[in-house]
């Protein structure tokens, strides 16, 4: 049951990154691909029906972590209290920027919320990457099962490093580029004309930057977590997910090179999902790695709730998960096709 719930939690968080990632990426590129008011309203219309529903997966992932691994939930949320509060406020501010932009018909008002939307999306992408970097690098978990970590301290990874150090910032920048490319492909699928062309070009440049950083991120990950390669090498699931990652990356490259944003977006989604899946499979069963002493790391077996609780939670998940998936499919089908707002020229 612990392995099943480890996969459920990891899968929900990976789905969140893929789904909310494309509207984060659209926000990152908002001021670059849309230059007139009509074009910016087009970008917002492209993500408008989906962005708030996508955030349900973050809540679902957090809820699943709380149900299945309450010890890890308590340790992680208390240790990362300040960064989590900052992330929460940025998410709120980003949501407000989408909802309030059109409430007042004034260029200054719209420009302020456009900038807020782009800045909030950029910060969220970096913070999500830094969070992943902290999970891979580890935290100073002590014998009490708790840790306290400042926002920053030493900029070099180690026992004295904060939430932001050279490694986690590097992962944050990689995540920013990858999500920008993911969002650019989504906008290229949903728009036409100048916004479509700019979005496709931005997606290509963003994914080129992410591909250039990937070897450095991989090398840095091995430096801060040297046990990962050996663990990954002996796990067939890691190899299977890696093969799927290669296939998804190939679809992404073909879509970008041939100007087929639909194929590219599917490849982009698959690349992000399998990349996170490979990391989770290699890290199993560790939920929080201790940089103080590896034997103090919190794994799925130590952090899991009682077996009865896991079974009850699984029964509710079997009901709720199909509903969430069905809602997304319904909304995506209802709003499929290109978006246009008044004032945008046809392609």
Is the residue at 340 inside a domain? no
Instruction: Show the domain range for 275.
Output: 2-334
DSSP state of 29: T
pLDDT in the model for residue 345: 53
Note the pLDDT tens digit of each residue in 186-220. Answer: 999 999 889 999 999 999 999 999 999 999 999 99
Strand duo 286-288 + 298-299: pairing? antiparallel
- Cβ proximity of 79 and 148 under 8 Å: yes
Residue 346 lies in a domain: no
Does any domain span residue 307? Answer: yes
Q: Is residue 42 part of a domain?
A: yes
Please indicate, yes or no, if residue 87 is contained in any of the structural domains. yes
Taking residue 309's Cβ as centre, other Cβ atoms within 10 Å add up to 14
Residue 344 is assigned to a structural domain of this protein: no
As a whole number of angstroms, the distance between CA 312 and CA 82 comes to: 32
Angle at Cα 68 formed by Cα 65 and Cα 69, nearest 5°? Answer: 70
Residue 343 domain flag: no
- How many domains is the chain built from? 1
In which band, very low, low, confident or very high, does the pLDDT at 305 lie, cut at 50, 70 and 90?
confident
- Rounded distance, CA 161 to CA 111, Å? 38
- Distance CA(8)–CA(160), nearest Å, equals 32
In a domain, residue 345? The reply is no
Per-residue model confidence (pLDDT) at position 171: 95
pTM metric for this prediction: 0.91
Angle at 258 between CA 253 and CA 262, to 5 degrees: 75
Above 60 in pLDDT, residue 236? yes
């Amino acid at each position: 049951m612990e392995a099943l719930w480890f996969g459920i939690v990891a899968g929900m968080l990976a789905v969140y990154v893929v789904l909310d990632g494309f509207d984060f990426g659209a926000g990152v590129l908002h001021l670059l691909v849309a230059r007139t008011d009509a074009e910016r309203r087009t970008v917002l219309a492209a993500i408008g029906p989906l962005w708030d529903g996508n955030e349900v997966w973050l809540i679902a992932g957090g809820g699943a972590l709380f149900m299945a691994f309450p010890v890890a939930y308590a340790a992680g949320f208390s240790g990362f209290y300040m960064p989590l509060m900052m992330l929460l406020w940025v998410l709120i501010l980003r949501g407000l920027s989408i909802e309030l932009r059109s409430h007042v018909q004034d260029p200054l008002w719209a420009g302020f919320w456009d900038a807020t939307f782009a800045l909030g999306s950029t910060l969220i992408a970096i913070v999500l990457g830094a969070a992943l970097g902290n999970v891979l690098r580890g935290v100073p978990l002590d014998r009490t099962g708790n840790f306290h970590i400042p926002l920053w301290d030493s900029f070099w990874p180690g026992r004295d490093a904060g939430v932001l150090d050279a490694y986690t910032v590097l992962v944050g920048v990689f995540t920013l580029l990858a999500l920008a490319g993911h969002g650019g492909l989504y906008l290229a699928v949903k728009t036409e004309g100048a916004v479509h062309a700019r979005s496709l070009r931005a997606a290509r440049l963003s994914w080129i930057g992410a591909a250039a950083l990937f070897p450095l991120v991989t090398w840095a990950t091995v430096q801060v977590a040297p046990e990962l390669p050996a663990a990954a090498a002996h796990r067939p699931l890691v190899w299977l997910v890696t093969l799927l990652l290669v296939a998804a990356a190939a679809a992404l490259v073909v879509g970008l090179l041939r100007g087929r944003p639909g194929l590219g977006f599917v490849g982009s989604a698959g690349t992000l999902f399998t990349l996170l899946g490979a990391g989770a499979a290699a890290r199993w069963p560790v939920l929080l790695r201790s940089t103080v002493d590896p034997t103090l790391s919190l794994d799925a077996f130590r952090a899991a709730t009682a077996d009865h609780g896991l079974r009850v939670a699984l029964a509710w998940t079997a009901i709720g998960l199909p509903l969430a998936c069905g809602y997304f499919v319904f909304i995506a089908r209802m709003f499929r096709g290109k978006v246009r707002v008044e004032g945008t020229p046809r392609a």
